[in-house]
Amino acid sequence: MDEALEALRALTNNPDAVFREGQREAIDVIVKDKARVIVVQRTGWGKSALYFVATELLRRQGMGPSLIVSPLLALMNNQIDAARRMGLRAYTINSANDLKVAELVSLLNSDEVDVLLISPERLANPEFMNMVMPLVGRRPGLIVIDEVHCISDWGHDFRPDYRRIGQVIGRLPVGIPVLGTTATANDKVIADVSSQLGEGLPVFRGPLRREGLALSVLDLPDRATRLVWIDKNLEKLPGTGIVYCLTQRDVDLVAAYLEHRGHRVARYRSGGDINQEEKDESLEKLLKNDVKAVVASTALGMGYDKPDVGFVIHYQSTDSLVGYYQQVGRAGRALESSIGIMMRGEEDKDIHNYFMRGSFPKPEIVDQILVAFENANGPLSTIAIEKLVNLRSGSIERALKQLHVEGIVDRLKPKTFARTLKKWVYPTDRVEQTMASKRRGAEEVGEYFATTECRMRFIVNHLNDVDLTECGICDNCTGNMVNAEFSSAEVANAQNYLRHGYLKIEPRKKNWDNTFIVATQQLMEGKSLSKWKDGGFGDLVVRGKQIDHQFADELVDAVAAMISDWSISERPTWITCVPSTKSGDLVPHFARRLATKIGIPFHAAVTKVRSTAAQKGMENSAHQGANVSGAFKIVGDLPSGPVFLVDDLVDSRWTLTEVGHILRQHGSGNVYPVALASTQSGDS
């Protein structure tokens, strides 16, 4: 028996283990030739066995630790566990674990690290690059680039921070083995990847089709209808699974609706308003089949490795076919049969366009930030930048992230940046190329919906697989289309639910200049009836503001209902509103009608002392706060009781905060903000 097989059996603790097709050949290239190789295999094929066996053999030869670069943070702990079970000393360093750089340095110094797993972002971290990388890279060792398609701008999820890795590998001398792995790559991507990593390197490809996965599509333009479909069919689906949504808001909506309808679901998405514990818990629950489904955004990304996912439902269509393959490919890895259904909604296109536009900061945003650096004789913090430029803090952060990736700024501390010596040129060609590639991706999904041929064959053909046999189990092969019949009453119920998605208005605790607001002058927690353009009341608010110049009676009734459902320990005794010069009587008129409806008096207690610029033109806290600071005053005497403070839209909350502040200063009771719609960003 040879050394490689012996290592595999020892590492897997299975005396009968054998290599899968292609694994052995790839190991030989790495271990014997110290050369470079790309392995294209579907997930679950056994990539980690490949690089762990290779690591074991290379370490026996006295080579340095293996460096594994992987974008799959969720997967890292699994991999670490797997490596350690195999007796390898594996470590990772990321924001979520407690391994300190100093500990890692000491382990590396005593050569006690066999495998180091990192995310690509780590390669831009100064501490890692200055302290750890010199030790990891001081002698040749295997470099693994997981999800290697990410280095190609042709790849559907090209990651700019991966590009650097491709460039480094391209420059390395011979004798440093490199393994690139991916489960999703077509010929164009593979050609691009291999030209970056070194011409003529061998590519091992395995079959990409997933046996037993029955694919189908479902065109249901209306959000409510799709909710009804999932509600009615979820429990009929085999085992447990994933429901994918495009936006964070849709994840929340679908999860809340399904929970409301009595299903056991959890949610998984990115965003500042969901904590790591909830995310970990969601994955854990799915892993243990404690929930029927996890409702997830694409943040439940590559490589989530659960062998028995019974179904993957897409509440909205993906923006590329490769992306779809990757997500639906999570189903049924170790199951005889599983189900993949992609739905398509009327909103999908807008959402895709929104993400596409946001995928690269606009030149005018970048230019403003760079001017701030030009004028600064040293590094700038994000807070300092907010004061200097009138841009959303989110836009500033996104632009800085991109500029960091492009090498235009250095990140000195998490929120402090210095301008580098690199000249800035807007990458027009690259942006346009990326846009074109994304548009093409969306078209391919359209073709997938339209096709009458076998859907699995359609996908693997797109991935340039050679095996084009029909699956025999998809909707087109069987002729059984997904059943989508429901009563109008069922749809009406869901629509009604959509319309009652009240949103919290959290009180601000700090002033725009970062000083604390005295507790007695803060707002109480408030409520917003809807989200701007949410398909429910949010659309009526748009109509009232932009077309009718008056809010419909339906909105008065809805806000009154919201207030009557509201469990506040005290009942406000009067109503006032935010005055505005721009919208004339729109808001006061609404507030008066609301007051009549709920039977408490309205007082026009607040007036403007100076005209302010439209708050929507103020893009970040520093500018918004300064714009409205001192802009209002109280007229006459205030009633003393608690009060509802009404405004039509809530976004930054600075206007409400400022008005609430002076109401309290002049002796009102607690101030409860009420808004018709929230335009707070976060996602579309």
Which residues of this protein are in contact with another protein, per CB under 8 A?
Answer: 64, 67, 123-124, 129, 133-141, 143, 164, 167-168, 171-176, 373-379, 406-407, 410, 418-424
CB of 411 to another protein, least distance (A): 11
Measured from the CB atom, is 421 or 609 closer to another protein?
421
Task: Enter the tokens of residue 641.
Answer: 């009781």
In this structure, what DSSP letter does residue 516 have?
A: B
CB of 180 to another protein, least distance (A): 16
Contact 454, 477 (CB under 8 A): yes
Alpha carbon of 209 to those of 183, 219, 311, 333, 464: distances in Å? 11, 24, 16, 11, 11
In this structure, what DSSP letter does residue 602 have?
A: B
Task: Enter the tokens of residue 396.
Answer: 């500033």
CB atoms within 10 A of CB 95: 11
Which element (helix H / strand E) includes 666? none
Nearest alpha carbon to residue 621 among 680, 671, 545, 662: 680
CB of 391 to another protein, least distance (A): 20
Measured from the CB atom, is 173 or 636 closer to another protein?
173
Measured from the CB atom, is 124 or 482 closer to another protein?
124
Measured from the CB atom, is 131 or 634 closer to another protein?
131
Alpha carbon of 1 to those of 18, 49, 404: distances in Å? 11, 18, 50
CB of 116 to another protein, least distance (A): 12
Measured from the CB atom, is 161 or 250 closer to another protein?
161
Which element (helix H / strand E) includes 408? none
Measured from the CB atom, is 174 or 518 closer to another protein?
174
CB of 111 to another protein, least distance (A): 12
CB of 121 to another protein, least distance (A): 13
Cα-only R_g, the chain: 28
CB of 173 to another protein, least distance (A): 4
- φ and ψ at 165, to 5 degrees? -65, -45
Q: Using DSSP, state whether 124 is helix, strand or coil.
A: helix
Task: Enter the tokens of residue 551.
Answer: 């809010």
CB of 374 to another protein, least distance (A): 5
Measured from the CB atom, is 138 or 260 closer to another protein?
138
* CA end-to-end span of the chain: 59
CB of 370 to another protein, least distance (A): 9
Query: 409: buried, middle or exposed (CB in 10 Å: 19+, 13-18, 0-12)?
Result: buried
CB of 674 to another protein, least distance (A): 48
CB atoms within 10 A of CB 195: 14
Task: Enter the tokens of residue 547.
Answer: 């077309």
CB atoms within 10 A of CB 127: 10
Measured from the CB atom, is 45 or 91 closer to another protein?
91
Q: Which residues contact 400 (CB under 8 A, 6 or more apart)?
A: 369, 382, 385, 409, 417
Nearest alpha carbon to residue 229 among 600, 594, 442, 486: 486
Measured from the CB atom, is 417 or 458 closer to another protein?
417
Measured from the CB atom, is 85 or 139 closer to another protein?
139
Measured from the CB atom, is 164 or 589 closer to another protein?
164
Q: Using DSSP, state whether 326 is helix, strand or coil.
A: helix
Only one residue has tokens 């092969």, namely 477
CB of 225 to another protein, least distance (A): 49
Q: Which residues on neighbouring strands pair with residue 644, listed in sequence order?
A: 575, 672
